[in-house]
Amino acid sequence: MAVYARGYRPYEGTFKSAPVAYSIFAEGARMALARKGVRRIGYLIALVFCGYAGILYFQFGLAETGERMGGGAAATVLEQLFSLNARFREFHNVSSLLAMIAAVLVGSSLIADDLRTRALSLYLVRPLRPRDYMLGKVMIIPALMVPMMLLPGLLLWLLVGLWQPPGETWTWLSDNVDVAQRVIKYYVAGSISLTGLLLLLSSQTPRRGLVMGLSAVVLFGGMFPRFVGMRIQGVWGDRLRALDIPNNFTREFKMAAPRNWENRVLDRHEAGIHPEPIDAWLVMLLLLAVGLFLAWRRARTVEVGE
């Protein structure tokens, strides 16, 4: 049976199934969860979550009980808020590192494995458009980051609210909704950055190890231009600081609970240590746009033989 030159003709049959993009996403997600390394990282994040849940319980749950029983002076609202933000900063500094490793393990093979095994050309023989292939791949990393970047922070926020005195849970949650908003921004920024970066690199080479190495260089090497940008005032300093991708999606927690040494650096150099929000989001969105385009182009230009 002859194979169409590119295989992009519309399907004219009557068989109905799930959308093509969803099928690609489901298969990619299944393979991601089958990796032992990813599952172990998930267990580590759960372990870190339990540790910080215990710390927050001692700081807020038992502290409230002791205050009601006259066991000590109540902390001020500002002290409680800073303590909460500091714990969230510490937790997300650790969990973001683990989440990045999991994303690289999965993302390094997003398109690279299809190129290495020539599976992409087999996919495109079928009634599959490059856009569907790209959309299926782009959903994998954000879905993987839901239990690793989004749910733990929201659960910590909810637990602290439940540990408030009776009748004050909803009041506390509404007063501290900015904590949940920071978690959501962190998840969105992390998903955008990691998806764009891994689509960009994985679409350019079939070598998974090379993608892992380049991802590590980009993710961890960004701290060097940030350090340079800390000493440069103006637009170029902001742009250099925005090249530190992990700092871009954890900056909200760091701004809410700055460390003492960061305050000293800020006063000394007057340029700050974190990028402006618009610069950080521009870098992340540009990275995603380039990754989407290169993934689409890779699927669009792959050769399909007769």
**Residue-level pLDDT at 266:** 43
**Residue-level pLDDT at 146:** 95
| pLDDT greater at residue 76 or residue 290 | 290
**Residue-level pLDDT at 225:** 85
pLDDT, mean of residues 94-98: 94
| pLDDT greater at residue 83 or residue 261 | 83
Per residue in 174-221, pLDDT (tens digit) is: 999 999 999 999 999 999 999 999 999 998 888 888 999 999 999 999
**Residue-level pLDDT at 62:** 63
In this prediction, residue 246 has a pLDDT band, given cuts at 50, 70 and 90, of very high
pLDDT, mean of residues 278-291: 93
Note whether 119 and 113 are within 8 A (CB).
yes
Per residue in 262-271, pLDDT (tens digit) is: 444 444 433 4
| pLDDT greater at residue 81 or residue 105 | 105
Per residue in 22-32, pLDDT (tens digit) is: 888 888 888 88
Helix axes 130-138, 20-33, angle to 10 degrees: 40
When the pLDDT of each residue in the chain is averaged and rounded to a whole number, the result is 81
For residue 16, pLDDT over 60 is answered with: no
For residue 301, pLDDT over 50 is answered with: yes
For residue 261, pLDDT over 60 is answered with: no
Contacts of 253 (CB under 8 A, 6+ apart): 85, 88, 89, 92, 93, 182, 186
**Residue-level pLDDT at 298:** 84
**Residue-level pLDDT at 14:** 45
**Among the listed ranges 16-20, 75-79, 219-223, 295-299, which one has the minimum average pLDDT value?**
75-79
In this prediction, residue 305 has a pLDDT band, given cuts at 50, 70 and 90, of very low
| pLDDT greater at residue 282 or residue 228 | 282
> For a pLDDT cut of 90, what percent of the chain falls above it?
40
> For a pLDDT cut of 70, what percent of the chain falls above it?
78
pLDDT, mean of residues 128-153: 90
**Residue-level pLDDT at 121:** 59
pLDDT, mean of residues 146-173: 91
pLDDT, mean of residues 97-118: 86
In this prediction, residue 94 has a pLDDT band, given cuts at 50, 70 and 90, of very high
For residue 148, pLDDT over 90 is answered with: yes
